[in-house]
Amino acid sequence: MLEQFFRLRENNTNTRTEIVAGITTFLTMAYIIFVNPQILGLAKMPADAVFVSTCVAAAIGCFLMAFVANYPIALAPGMGLNAYFAFGVVGGMGYSWQVALGCVFISGVIFFIISVLPIREWIVNAIPKSLKMAIAAGIGLFLALIALKNAGIVVGNEATLVTHGKLASWPVLMATLGFALIVALEHRRVLGGVIIGILAVTAVSMLAGQQKFGGFFDVPPSIAPVLLQMDLAGAFKVGLVTVVFAFLFVDLFDNTGTLIALAHRGGFMRPDGTVPRLNRALMSDSAAAMIGAAVGTSTTTSYIESASGINAGGRTGLTAMTVGVLFLLALFVAPLAGSIPPYATAPALLYVACLMARGLTEIEWADVTEAAPAVITAIAMPFTFSIAEGIAFGFISYAGIKIAAGKFRDVHPAVAVLAVLFVIKYLVIG
């Protein structure tokens, strides 16, 4: 049955290879089951229920990618967007987490529609590469600030806005050691380096009496507190248009870039550069975003960590299906997830931030009309504590600078329209 459904022989693979590849991918991305509940918990969502919704949303996303697109690509709630959900929409703008879930759901619906229609390619091609790279890097800087805050390394200060915390405190020391351990393990290509770092810091904290141990296994908590709790009516408010756009925009470009990179890594890409079944993969991702919001978590998206499973030989949806099954089994480690302190997951956030910041290297620095808007986009995200504001500032500055420099042809009509809409939004709404 597996052979017929996933066409294993046609893809030069077998059941054992696909299962091993799935286990490999799961170990590289399993940190999300510990990190996501903590981040969304700061948005006053019940962490136990979010733990369940994280595992369920990831499993459903993986199954969609497996059975609809037959790709070895795993999905889970995305890093960056979960932070924007908690700190930007709920913490910064003051909206409820139910409204934020409604925004995620609506963005998933729009993503699904543009994935079915040819609009997606038009949008992707319209946005200049410098802005795409800057958005990725800006999200990385945004995550870095949150990581340093959670670790106690950076704290607020009325005179200087931010300053360093008590650097000799236990959370700071543990977060620093955890980050060094994760980087060292990843450099040595140790499988599951990120999750090993999280668990190592947690174990040391427990042995030192700084953290209580809640156990390993138990019956999964109830998902009821977050299930179908989207406030769609609240999400349709005019002021939330940019929030929906931010969720959509980041998911669209992050997911498209991830899928293309993984297709290239796995040898799925055709000689002409096109990717077979790309629309199916995009539809799987957008459907996963909608379902993820319904079960109670932030945007579910494709994970670049799937490259580890592809490197291990994964070539079909059986790899993704294996990851989905493992996420369901992870439901039974809720007590362990609840025992992990924020400073243990901060190093994982900071490591992901470092990876995302690499986008800055692909900006065309020789052309200041490309570099300046990119820098504005990247630094606006952490300084305004909002991915949406960074995107808006980027579009406005790009169109404005290009027009002022006389480079009218560089401004795609879609970019110009979005820039004007953002300006109107600030003038009318603020």
pLDDT in tens, 120-133: 667 766 778 888 88
pLDDT at 140: 81
User: Residue 258 pLDDT > 80, yes or no?
Assistant: no
Beta-sheet pairing, 75-77 with 161-164: unpaired
Residue 153 DSSP class: S
- Cβ neighbours of residue 53 closer than 8 Å, sequence gap 6 or more: 223, 226, 227, 292, 295, 296, 297
- Cβ neighbours of residue 309 closer than 8 Å, sequence gap 6 or more: 21, 22, 24, 25, 28, 72, 74, 319, 323
Q: Do 430 and 424 contact (CB within 8 A), yes or no?
A: no
Rounded average pLDDT over 74-80: 88
pLDDT band for position 294 (cuts 50, 70, 90): very high
- Cβ neighbours of residue 49 closer than 8 Å, sequence gap 6 or more: 221, 222, 223, 224, 225, 226, 227, 296
- Phi and psi of 155, rounded to 5°? -135, 165
- Cβ neighbours of residue 327 closer than 8 Å, sequence gap 6 or more: 26, 33, 55, 56, 58, 59, 62, 76
Residue 88 DSSP class: I
pLDDT at 312: 75
Q: Do 355 and 163 contact (CB within 8 A), yes or no?
A: no
pLDDT band for position 261 (cuts 50, 70, 90): low
* Residue whose C-alpha is closest to residue 238's, from 28, 425, 21: 425
Q: Do 141 and 279 contact (CB within 8 A), yes or no?
A: no
**Which percentage of the chain shows pLDDT scores above 70?**
96
Q: What is the pTM of this model?
A: 0.78
Rounded average pLDDT over 8-20: 83
pLDDT at 49: 93
User: Residue 202 pLDDT > 80, yes or no?
Assistant: yes
Rounded average pLDDT over 177-196: 88
pLDDT in tens, 102-151: 999 998 898 888 878 777 667 766 778 888 888 878 878 888 888 898 88
User: Residue 52 pLDDT > 90, yes or no?
Assistant: yes
396: three-class secondary structure by DSSP:
helix
Q: How far apart are CA 292 and CA 298, in angstroms?
A: 7
Q: Which residues of 119-133 are buried (b: 16+ CB within 10 A; e: fewer)?
A: ebeebeeebbebbbb
pLDDT at 355: 80
pLDDT at 124: 67
Q: How far apart are CA 237 and CA 17, in angstroms?
A: 49
Rounded average pLDDT over 1-6: 76
pLDDT band for position 430 (cuts 50, 70, 90): low
Q: Which residues of 40-65 are buried (b: 16+ CB within 10 A; e: fewer)?
A: bbbbebbbbbbbbbbbbbbbbbbbbb
